[in-house]
């Protein structure tokens, strides 16, 4: 007969400890998708976001509506540039198995016009998180970098390419943090995975990006701005769920220091994207030409490393991605569907 004491010990040993993850930028496009994904997988998620006005904070509040009251979610409305507030948050939480650092000022063109805020947030803010990750012995630090870091390199982009010559302050600040993370790995053994994201598509995609703008243009007659030749300008669109799976894989594997492309290895021209949207929505798209500095002509990822290390399989086609987003879009409230944003 098993004693009550042994029963208690056995029960305690068999109980699985919930993994705790900090997601910065949790109210943004990628962050809100990742947070929901991790909660559905049984993680405890601490979200950090300052709800800045790069685009309407109402949209960010909307992004977290489905999980803000989840029992395994806690939100800090904190600016990563506030060193004291970041320190207090870590002191209160004590332990994180992983940090997924997504918070940043994004956008190539806007960074050319406003470089100071990109340096302050993307570099200094990231450093505030990195130092706390070392202090509290975080299991793995996962950093969201960008495909635009490759600049004018020949395609397809491979992780071993020289990325010292980005075309704008935004990717330059991402490169700076990649290098900073390497030094913290080397000096403090901070386990680090850097993902260079290539044009993720899915529900909640940032409203100032191409797909939601095209759908609004087709549905409501808005003009879609064209900044480059729509036949030669190409992007490597990638279904966001495949990226979430890769992030979870990196959290569990805890690589020492890796830089990994997350793309689709299938660049699509803007004209083909426009044609696909017109086919799904059923209306033609009106366009206008505008100059736009700092943009890359083509993004095109070699994803061999992601496949090897993470069994990454970006199998969702562009038409499927558009269809998934469009069906989600139609279910959203009118204020969200008809919003106009310019950056």
Catalytic residues: 170
101/111 Cα distance (integer angstroms)? 19
Cα(263)–Cα(6) distance, rounded to whole angstroms? Answer: 51
Q: Which two tokens stand for residue 292?
A: 């736009």
CA 169 distance to own-chain centroid:
18
Q: What DSSP character marks residue 19?
A: P
Task: Measure Cα distances from 39 to 22, 48, 85, 245, 271 in Å.
Answer: 12, 15, 25, 13, 37
Query: What's the CA gap between 41 and 322, in Å, rounded?
Result: 25
The helix/strand/coil state of 268 is strand
For the record, the structure tokens of 309 come out as 């290390």
In angstroms, the CA 237 to CA 244 distance is 15
CA distance 222 to 333: 18
Structure tokens at 102: 């997504």
How far apart CA 51 and CA 26 sit, in angstroms, is 9
Burial 68-105 (b: 16+ CB within 10 A, else e): beeeebbbbebbbbebebbeebbeeeeebbbbbbbbbb
**Encoding tokens for residue 236?**
């490597």
- The runs of H, that is alpha helices, within 108-195 are 108-113, 115-118, 126-135, 169-188
Query: 29-40 and 240-253 are packed helices; what angle lies between their axes, rounded to 10 degrees?
Result: 60
| Distances 72 to 41, 68, 87 between C-alpha atoms, Å | 11, 9, 22
State the angle between helix axes of 126-135 and 83-93 in degrees (0 to 180), rounded to the nearest 10. Answer: 30
């Amino acid at each position: 007969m098993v004693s009550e004491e042994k029963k208690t010990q056995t029960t305690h040993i068999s109980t699985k400890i919930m993994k705790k993850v900090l997601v910065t930028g949790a109210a943004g496009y990628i962050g809100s998708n990742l947070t929901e994904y991790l909660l559905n997988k049984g993680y405890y998620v601490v979200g950090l976001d300052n709800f800045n006005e790069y685009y309407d904070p109402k949209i960010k509040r909307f992004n977290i509506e489905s999980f803000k009251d989840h029992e395994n979610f806690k939100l800090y409305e904190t600016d990563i540039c506030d060193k004291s507030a970041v320190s207090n948050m870590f002191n209160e939480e004590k332990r994180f198995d992983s940090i997924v650092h997504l918070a940043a000022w994004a956008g190539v063109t806007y960074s050319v016009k406003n470089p100071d805020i990109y340096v302050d947030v993307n570099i200094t803010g990231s450093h505030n998180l990195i130092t706390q990750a070392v202090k509290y012995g975080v299991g793995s630090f996962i950093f969201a970098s960008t495909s635009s870091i490759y600049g004018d390199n020949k395609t397809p982009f491979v992780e071993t390419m020289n990325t010292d010559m980005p075309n704008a302050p935004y990717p330059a600040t991402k490169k700076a943090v990649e290098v900073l993370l390497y030094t913290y790995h080397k000096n403090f053994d901070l386990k680090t995975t850097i993902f260079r994201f290539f044009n993720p598509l899915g529900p909640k995609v940032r409203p100032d990006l191409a797909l939601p703008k095209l759908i609004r243009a087709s549905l409501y007659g808005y003009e879609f701005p064209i900044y480059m030749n729509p036949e030669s300008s190409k992007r490597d669109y990638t279904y966001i769920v495949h990226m979430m799976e890769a992030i979870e894989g990196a959290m569990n594997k805890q690589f020492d220091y890796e830089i990994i492309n997350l793309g689709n290895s299938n660049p699509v021209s803007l004209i083909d994207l426009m044609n696909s949207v017109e086919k799904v929505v059923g209306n033609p798209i009106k366009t206008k030409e505008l100059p736009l500095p700092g943009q890359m002509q083509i993004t095109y990822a070699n994803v061999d490393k992601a496949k090897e290390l993470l069994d990454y399989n970006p199998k969702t086609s562009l038409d499927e991605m558009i269809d998934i987003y469009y069906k989600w879009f139609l279910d959203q409230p009118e204020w969200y569907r008809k919003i106009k944003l310019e950056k």
